[in-house]
Structures are given as structure tokens and as C-alpha cells.
Structure 1
């Protein structure tokens, strides 16, 4: 039984150390919100499936493996169709926007949102906001229908275009309100989702019945609980091509060393999965596992050993690995890239230079 709720942060605690980190909801600030039967009940493709709906009390544990005497730990609200919804399908006017850098699978997500709303829920008014957040107030829009998005999953990039910055919360919510939009689907990374939360807070402040849905865009797979993030499989596949090329180069040279730097600021999923799939990698360095260069058991000692054994080697390193060894670089401290993420020093270049010094 839930016994304590912090309303703003939506954190609920219960017996046995149970903690629920919930998401904000329209019902938090709109009293006596009307509900409607889920349209899936009348959809022949779904109505025959037993126990299809998610129970309102279903949660997902953050930690799968726990000790029998330890607290139950943090849980999250389980996503999925509910028996009651808060929008009448005929009244829904949805919009989709993509922000930040490109990512494999963006068009697939756009297509699935449009087709899912149209075919599963009977929503026929979906608008595409072009060019990222500025598209809300620069009037760049395109109607989206299943016919429009039918083949877009075969293309790269985003059919809506994207951009960095341009976020003006007040202008964006003004546009949402003026257009009569009541469902907003936002595809983007950390900065984009932070700004999406600002949009929701402004929507809540104005008391609007507008659902703001954040869809995380990260090929790093650095999101807990979910299976895989958008574009992760493609990133691993492409990484293997780079590893294969580095292996061919290294194998063809005396004491050749191929260094492949891959994306992964705070998680090494791409580097590790690509390494396991390749089998040509001698050393994989990831942010979750600190390493050191000098002395017994250090990386340089391993490089020397491997070169003596086989005459070449391949090192894969995630961009966030070893950053504590480069933290003294004054030219890079506190700088940000275009997406407002902390700018990391080039660990691949740094490692290559350290290895070259070893062999000079």
C-alpha cells in the first residue's frame, strides 16, 4: 500500500523499501479529468488479446538482481495501453518534432507514431514540426498521414529536419495553444528532454490539457530498464566496419596498432557490443571500467605484451573512457558542444600519442 507521496517530484514510498519514481500526469493539475474507453477495445487486431492492458499499479524494478533481505529499491511506472484514456480520439491534435543531432531510426519512430495513432487509436490530425524547436514559432509545419510516412523508414536522417538550440518555452507553448495541439511528441537527447520538461512545466502552469511525451534519442543505449535505445543496433553494425578496417591496417604493418574511438560518453555499450561481435579487438576501454597507463597491469604494459605475441593489435575505446586521465587539459574544461553536452577531450588522439611515445 502506497503511503507517502511527494507531489512535485512524483516519488512514492511504501513498505520494504519500495520507491516509485513516477512521471508527471495531466491528472496532477487538472481535477476531475474525464476519461474515455481505450479505442483498442474496439480494434479487432487487439481486442482479442487476453490481459492486453497494463494494470495501473504495475511497476518495473530498476535493479533486477537484489538480495533477499535488501530493500525493494527504485521502481518505475510500467508503460503500455490502459483501459481508460484521457483524450477522445476525434479531439486529438498531435504534433511531432525532432531536435539535436541525427540518429538512425528517427524516421522509423515518426512513422510508428503516425501509423499507431491513426490505425490503433483513430487519430487523424498529426502535424510535423519542421526544423526542431524553432519550427513551433516560425510556422514550419507539415501534415503527417500514414500515406506521407509510408516509406520514410527507408531513408536516413529526419523528414522533419532538426536543429540545435532555438528553444523558447513561452513561444513554443503559445504556438501549441494557438494551434490547438494537445499531444506533443518530442524526439531528442538529454538537452532536448530537459527542455521538453520545461515545456510541460509551462503547460502545467497554464493549466492546459496537453500531454508532452519525451522520446529519448541516444545511440549509446545509456537508458536503464529499456531493452535498446533507438539506433543502437545500427551504431554497433557501423562500428564493426571501422574495427575491421583498423584490424586490416594494423595486421599489415610491423607492430601495427589500430585505435578505434567510438561513441559512448558515459556508457560503453557500443564499444563492448562491437568488440564482442568483431572478435578482432585485443582491448576494449569503456567509461564504466577505469584503467591506468603506467606500471604493472597498466595499458602500456599490455600493449607491449600483445605486440610481442602477435605483432599487431586493435584497441577500441569509448569517447568517455579515461577522461579522468585527461581532466587537467585547461583548453577544454567547462566547454560545451552544440547540444549543450560537456565537451570531452579527444581520448582517441591522446591514447595514440601515448602509445607513439612508448615506441620512440
Structure 2
């Protein structure tokens, strides 16, 4: 690669890192800012980046020198958006690394998302220490609580300034990243030395430049159990149908990977692939043929699939994060399937299973828990080194630093290769 000019994706630094890291005493390995992870993973992708050479991310990891002096640094942690397995694991990892690794004396947990940074919510903040977070990874959810919806950015920055917070660690998804980016801009406008470091949280696995987000493997593992139950129910009756609705607002990763790992799914419906109900190529006709031949069927549908069949053009109904509220595709399909089968005098038994809230409130499984631990460690290292306006990513087998500008407003979707495998396994 010596003949190429590497385009390094820059991460903003609050200032020169001149304080020796206390990790030096513990014989840590250190990562230099010059160590990079290529964005492209194949020759085809590399050839697409023909405007000056390949692009690369800054590699995550502990730095030999820090921007902040640990003994004089106050850190804040906030968790936002919907619940997801592993949130407590990330919080625990941040606290353990900052306290035991760096000797940070004070960590503030802001309660119930960005509301905790408002003038009204700041009184509910709590002190976090290794003792208070010792067992939280054994529980689902987040010990800090969470919420959706915007807050006044100026007010949130005032809270950080008043609380003497030097680094704010933000755990959340796409909407949360937008909020964090707005906080960073206000901090820069006021010329304050406060770092903003984000940890990606999306159970749907739909954030860009994160190969796998925490909570995803737990969600797929538990979704497969729901599919197994639906399969048993379907096979237990003549013309039995198991209908399972899974999470996936815009991206069908959970539905697709649960179908792949199960092997018992006959129809997989995801937001990325439009489908029709009526006609010879419609879902209802295909289901009828399946029942006539095999006398049972399992359907998995992501919550964001088929919304074009449900929307009447009115997108005014939105949640506090500004997202258009999805219509219930599961209940819609249940009604349409039963109505269609009744018209055709086809006697069926349909069991509808929606395990979404059970799944997202569970503790993380072993794989996710270990992943969360590393995310928290790398976020701590980045924050103490003075990095800001960034997210800890995972790309091409390495943990990376990704500017928030590259994350906000983008969404990762199912790739054609994965979808092809789903088509093969479902037949």
C-alpha cells in the first residue's frame, strides 16, 4: 500500500495530549493516532474509492498520552432511546475503566436520557462508582433509565458546564447521535473544552460503520426461540400458521439472521424488500400453496416491513424522536391471512407471536456482554485522550473512531448477499 495516498478520516482533538497515561505503569499496549483501519474490505470497494486513494479510520485503543488529567476530570454518562440488551454492560465498563484504569474521581450518571441534562432533570442525576455498578450487567435495561425526544441544547450544555463535566459519554442510536452532534456544536460555539464520545446502541443493527451493534446477537438468539415456538405451534395443527413479528424499523437484520439461524422459516418479510399480498405472486397465494402442500408454515415479519400496504399517506403521527409511528404489520397480516383463508374455505389455525419487548429488556448474552465491555473500554480511552465528536465503531475486524458527521442521517441496510442467503434458506 506504500504507493497509495491514504485518506485518513480525521477525528477532532480538544488539544495536545501531553499527560502521561497511568496505564503505562500497568504495561498496557498503546495505539498511535497514525494506526489506521481501511474502510474498504475488498478490491472492488477499493477501486470505487478512486478520488485520491483509499480511506481509513483511526484505530481505537489506549493512547500513551492523555489530554485530560485523570485526577481532575469529571465524566458524565447518559443512555438514550429504546432499551437494548447490553446497556448496563457498557455503563459498567465505562465506570470500571475510568475509575480503575485512569483513576477518575467522579462519574455522574444522568437519568432518563437527555432529559437528565435539562434543568428539570439534572437533580435526578446519580453518582456512579465501581461499587454501584458491580452487578448491573446481570440485569436488562439501563440503571440510568432512558427516554426519547429532544431537549434544549443550550440547557444541556449549561448542565455539563455547571456539573464540571469534561467528558460526556453518550449511549444511543441514530437519533441520539444527532443529539450528541448538536451538543458538540454548541460546546464548540461556546469554546468549551468538553469531549463528546458516543457508543452505538441499536438493536436493529442499522448504524453505519458498525459491523455489529451490541444487543443484536442477543436479539437474534431470543428471536430464534420465538420462531421455534411458532414452528411447534404450526406443526401441531392441520394447516397451522406461526406468525412472528420481530424488531426492525428500517432494516431487517434481526428477521433475516433469525431466519438464517432457525432454518424453519418459510416466509421472511423485511423493510428493504417490498412485497405484495394479492395475485399469483402475492404472499396470500404463496401461503395457500404452501399449506396445501405441507400443511404448516412459519412467517417472520420485521416491524417496518409492508408499511406501504398500511399507510394512507398521512405521516403526521410521530413519536417524540420525530419518527413516523409504524402501523402494526403483524396484526394486519393476521387479519388478512385469516380473511383470505376463510374466503377460500381453507381451515387454518394461526398463532401470532410478538416477543419484541421481552427481547429488548433481557440481559446481554455472553457474546454481546464481552462486546459491550470492549466498547466501553475504547470509549474511555478515546475520551481521556481528548477525542470528541466521535463514535466508537467496529469495522474490518477492528475497533475504530468514527466522526459523528459520518453516522448522522445514514442507515445501514441488508446487503444483497445476506438477502440471497435468506431466500435460499426459506426456499
Q: What TM-score bracket applies, with the shorter chain setting the length?
A: 0.7 to 0.9
- Equivalent residue number for residue 25 of structure 2: 42
Seen in structure 2, the aligned counterparts of structure 1 residues 19 and 277 have a Cα distance that, compared at 3 Å, is: same
Residues 22-55 of structure 1: CA deviation (Å, up to 9, x unaligned) = 444424xxxxx453233332223x2xx4xx4144
Matched position secondary structure for 1:147: coil
Residues 302-353 of structure 1: CA deviation (Å, up to 9, x unaligned) = 21221122101010011122333434x24x5232124332212222222223
Q: Larger deviation: 197-206 or 273-282?
A: 273-282
Offset at 1:57?
5.0
Distance 1:304 1:155 in 2: 43
- Equivalent residue number for residue 59 of structure 1: 37
1:344 corresponds to 2:311 = no
Distance 1:267 1:62 in 2: 22
Seen in structure 2, the aligned counterparts of structure 1 residues 20 and 268 have a Cα distance that, compared at 3 Å, is: farther
Distance 1:64 1:222 in 2: 21
Aligned partner of 2:190 among 191, 194, 206: 206
1:301 corresponds to 2:285 = yes
Seen in structure 2, the aligned counterparts of structure 1 residues 300 and 61 have a Cα distance that, compared at 3 Å, is: same
Q: Is the 8 A contact 2:109 2:128 kept in 1?
A: yes
- Equivalent residue number for residue 103 of structure 1: 84
Seen in structure 2, the aligned counterparts of structure 1 residues 313 and 250 have a Cα distance that, compared at 3 Å, is: same
- Equivalent residue number for residue 138 of structure 2: 154
Matched position secondary structure for 2:132: helix
1:335 corresponds to 2:313 = no
1:275 corresponds to 2:263 = no
- Equivalent residue number for residue 8 of structure 1: none
Q: Is the 8 A contact 1:281 1:316 kept in 2?
A: yes
- Equivalent residue number for residue 71 of structure 1: 49
Bigger relative CO (Cα 8 Å, ≥ 6 apart): 2
Offset at 1:65?
5.4
Aligned partner of 1:256 among 229, 240, 245: 240
Seen in structure 2, the aligned counterparts of structure 1 residues 265 and 127 have a Cα distance that, compared at 3 Å, is: same
Seen in structure 2, the aligned counterparts of structure 1 residues 215 and 69 have a Cα distance that, compared at 3 Å, is: closer
Task: Provide the TM-score with structure 2 as the length reference.
Answer: 0.71
Q: Quote the RMSD (CA, aligned, Å).
A: 2.6
Q: Is the 8 A contact 1:96 1:185 kept in 2?
A: yes
Distance 2:244 2:76 in 1: 39
Alignment of 1:94-173 (within 5 A): 94-136=75-117, 137=119, 138-165=122-149, 167-173=151-157
Distance 1:36 1:231 in 2: 35
Distance 1:166 1:288 in 2: 28
Aligned partner of 2:169 among 185, 194, 200: 185
Aligned length: 335
Task: Provide the TM-score with structure 1 as the length reference.
Answer: 0.84
Q: Is the 8 A contact 1:60 1:78 kept in 2?
A: no
Residues 222-243 of structure 1: CA deviation (Å, up to 9, x unaligned) = 1233342121122112212322
Distance 2:271 2:237 in 1: 29
Seen in structure 2, the aligned counterparts of structure 1 residues 281 and 98 have a Cα distance that, compared at 3 Å, is: same
Offset at 1:70?
3.5
Matched position secondary structure for 1:277: helix
Distance 1:80 1:66 in 2: 29
- Equivalent residue number for residue 12 of structure 1: none
Matched position secondary structure for 1:258: strand
Offset at 1:77?
3.3
Distance 1:195 1:62 in 2: 29
Residues 145-178 of structure 1: CA deviation (Å, up to 9, x unaligned) = 1111111101122111222336121111111111
Q: Is the 8 A contact 2:31 2:59 kept in 1?
A: no
Distance 2:240 2:337 in 1: 11
